[in-house]
Amino acid sequence: MQRYAATLVLLLCLLSSGLQGREPLQADSTVVVLLGTGMPRPNPEASGPATAVVVGKRVFLFDAGPGAERQLSAAHLPINGVTALFITHLHSDHTLGYPDLIFTSWVMGRKGPLQAYGPPGLGKMTDHLLAAYSEDIAVRIEGLEHQTPDGYKVHVHEIHSGVVYDSLGVKVTAFPVPHGNWDVSLAYRVDAEDKSVVLSGDTRYNEDLVRFAAGVDILVHEVYSGARLKPEPRPGGEDWPKYMHEFHTSDTELGALAAKINPKVLVLTHIIRMGASDDELLAGVRKGGFNGRIVVGRDLDRIR
């Protein structure tokens, strides 16, 4: 008995020493995972816009740009379906990964409908995608793959603003933002028990975000290099500066906005560099007035 007690004490001591310096696992901790930080120009180092907010084992995906499903795999997140998908707007660079997410997650084992939230038009887009892949669906269900008959389906929630998801300690609120001549483009705020996250979507400078993002821990915001902006030598390129001012937010503008919001960390994504370096982008944000922590987003970065 004494030998057993001594052995037990030794094992407890070894276990205790082995845990020293390690962060304890938190089942419901919130992590932002940048799956895609790019924009329409194909870039092997920056996939299409997609950001995961992971709360414990639940994955909330915001936008589904090209490569979203493969980036979920690269980030060691579920490839058989996310908890819910939230689309900011229907620009192609934010939705080209949507059919991949629908069908690949089904092939990888999703059993029930994908829950997809987004602006008006998302339902029509979804219907067309399911029609386009109708033969694929039939072969996978009726052939030797024996796929789950309802697994490819999508439950679309077309939204404008307000609380759009609220379950088990996670609340997602949508908020309209100005993005050129889109009728509806959305930002989202995620409030979990330990952390809050705001994702701007695509938007020009918008002070309404100050109220929407009050007290937020992590602000994930799109950005372009103001210093590099100029007309481009291509058809229609003379309107490039006008387009950027109407559709997007410069680094200096973002610095001014973030100074008013004062998040614990500002994450730059959907980065339109036009040749700008990280240092140039950071200098632009600092010039705008934000002096807090900034992360220039890279694919697969994890921010806590």
- Catalogue the active-site residues: 93
Q: How far apart are CA 84 and CA 108, in angstroms?
A: 16
Dihedral (CA of 102, 108, 111, 117) sign: negative
Q: What is the DSSP string of 145-176?
A: T---TTTT-EEEEE--SEEEEEETTEEEEEEE
Q: How far apart are CA 270 and CA 224, in angstroms?
A: 8
- Closest residue by Cα to residue 38 from 114, 86, 103, 91: 91
User: Amino acid identity, residue 119?
Assistant: P
CB atoms within 10 A of CB 12: 10
- Helices and strands, counts by H and E, the chain: 10, 14
Dihedral (CA of 130, 134, 136, 138) sign: positive
